[in-house]
Amino acid sequence: MSDSGSIISDTFSIVEEKIDVEAMISAAQRPDSGAINTFVGTTRVDESDGASVEYLEYEAYRPMADGKLSEIGAEIREKWDVRHVAITHRLGKVAPGEASVAIVVASPRRGPAFEASRYAIERIKEIVPIWKREVWSDGYVWVGSQVGTRGE
């Protein structure tokens, strides 16, 4: 649905350092877009049964994960009139308050920017082979797995 005359400046990356969200937003600023929507997923400190999250740790199957992020970008471009899509996901240890994923979408109108951002985070969770380990003060658990060692 993108305007065929627009310049595509999409970026998709998996990084091991802190995500520079401000640089992502700056790269999305364009004269043909009146909306830039930003989604940033951060590590939150949950407490349960006297234990708290100390950090998250992400791992990925890189050869496939890189391609899946680009695939999500292509899906977004087919569905909405967007001028810029950027997705960055973090690997390794992510402390509370730090970003683990950032999505920036620029579009002429706000509706497509919001919709595309929501779509991106849901698709990341569905198809990108990135796994999250929650490390608690009393153990850890792989999120989504049936087996963990928390409290065992």
* Predicted confidence (pLDDT) per residue in 82-141, tens digit: 999 999 999 999 999 999 999 999 999 999 999 999 999 999 999 999 999 999 888 998
CATH code of domain 11-139: 3.90.1170.40
Per-residue pLDDT at 40: 98
Q: What pLDDT score was predicted for residue 2?
A: 47
Task: Give the start-to-end residue ranges of the domains of the chain.
Answer: 11-139
The CA distance from 36 to 137, in Å, is: 38
Q: Which residue is it, tokens 């990925």? A: 60
pLDDT-derived band at 6 (thresholds 50, 70, 90) equals: low
User: Which pLDDT belongs to residue 148?
Assistant: 43
pLDDT at 9 (0 to 100): 75
Look at the alpha carbons of 78, 83, 89, 94 in this order and tell me if their dihedral is positive or negative. negative
Q: What does the pLDDT read at residue 145?
A: 40
Contact 56, 130 (CB under 8 A): no
CB neighbours of 78 closer than 8 A, spacing ≥ 6? 1
